[in-house]
């Protein structure tokens, strides 16, 4: 009445399941693209810091949200690249900005259009 199902050896079953899963895009197996992008950005920041002749500590301070390991990897790769190709770094233009002097406040007793605009119009 009932036919007995053919027995599949365990190796064949494992190979069959593996073939089925090869074409599947299972969530959680590949890394999140946002994490990959954040690491790539941090690596670029590290490379830019090295090219700008900044130390790692300065780079970490200027980019507190960047993952430190990725920043270090980018800095280290750029350092070896610059040494191999005998490239001098370019100093950073970012520094202490000179604040312009604040103009003196106008004397409130002098009436101007700005002072008079809040008053009553006749």
If residue 60 lies in a helix (H) or strand (E), which one and from where to where?
A: helix 56-62
**pLDDT tens digits for range 11-33:** 777 777 766 666 666 666 777 88
**pLDDT tens digits for range 68-93:** 999 999 999 999 999 999 988 888 77
pTM: 0.54
Residues 79 and 73 sit within 8 Å (Cβ to Cβ): no
Of 82, 24, 95, the closest CA to residue 50 belongs to 82
Neighbouring residues of 58: CB distance < 8 A, sequence distance ≥ 6: 49
| Per-residue DSSP letter, 117 | T
Other CB atoms within 10 Å distance of the CB of residue 73 = 16
């Amino acid at each position: 009445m009932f036919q007995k199902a053919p027995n599949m050896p365990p190796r064949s079953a494992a190979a069959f399941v593996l073939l089925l899963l090869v074409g599947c895009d299972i969530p959680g197996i590949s890394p999140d693209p946002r994490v990959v992008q954040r690491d790539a950005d941090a690596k670029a920041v590290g490379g830019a810091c090295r090219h700008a002749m900044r130390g790692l500590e300065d780079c970490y301070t200027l980019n507190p949200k960047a993952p430190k390991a990725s920043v270090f990897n980018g800095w280290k790769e750029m350092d070896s690249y610059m040494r191999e190709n005998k490239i001098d770094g370019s100093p950073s233009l970012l520094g202490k900005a000179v604040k312009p002097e604040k103009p003196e406040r106008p004397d409130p007793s002098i009436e101007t259009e700005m002072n008079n605009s809040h008053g009553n119009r006749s």
